[in-house]
Structure 1
C-alpha cells in the first residue's frame, strides 16, 4: 500500500477579496472531487490570504506508479485551469 501526498501552493490572480478567493477555491475543490474519485483534499494553509492558498491532497493505492500518475493528473488538471497558477508543488510517498 502506498499513500501519496501533494502539497500545492496556488495563486489566484483574479480575486480582489477573501470572499472571492474562497468562492473560486470552493469551485476548484468541487471540480477536483468530481473529476478524481477517492481523493482527500483540503485547504491546509493560506486561509486569510486573498490570492494564495495551499491545498493538501492525498490518495491511497496499490503501488507508487499508480499513485504518482493520479497526483500528476491532478496537478495537470489544476495547471490547465486558465485562471489558476501553481506556484509550488511537492509530492511525497509513504509505503507500507
Structure 2
C-alpha cells in the first residue's frame, strides 16, 4: 500500500471575506474529491481570508499511480482562475 500526501498553499486574491474563501474552497474540494477520489481538507490558516492550505491524500497499490493522481490534481488547481498556487509539497509514505 502506498499513501501519497500533498500539501498545497493557495492565495485567493479576489476573496474579501471568509465566506468568499469558503465558497471557492468548497467548490475546489468537491471537484478534487469527485474527479480523483482524493481526501481533501483545509489544514491551516482557516481564519485568513486570502490564504488557504489544503491537504490531499491518495491511497493505492502503485506509487506511480499515486504520483499521477496527485500531479493531475495539482494541474486542476493550477487551472482554477480564482486561486493561485503558491507552494506544493508531495510525499509518498
TM-score range for the pair, normalised by the shorter chain length: over 0.9
TM-score with structure 2 length normalisation? Answer: 0.95
- Aligned pairs, how many? 93
- 1:76-95 Cα deviation digits (max 9, x unpaired): 0000112211100000001x
Structure 1 unaligned segments of length 5 or more: list them. Answer: none
Instruction: Measure the CA separation in 1 of the matches of 2:72 and 2:43.
Output: 20
Corresponding position of 1:29: 29
Structure 1 consecutive aligned stretches of length 4 or more whose deviation exceeds 4 Å: none
TM-score with structure 1 length normalisation? Answer: 0.92
After superposition, residues 42-81 of structure 1 pair within 5 angstroms as: 42-81=41-80
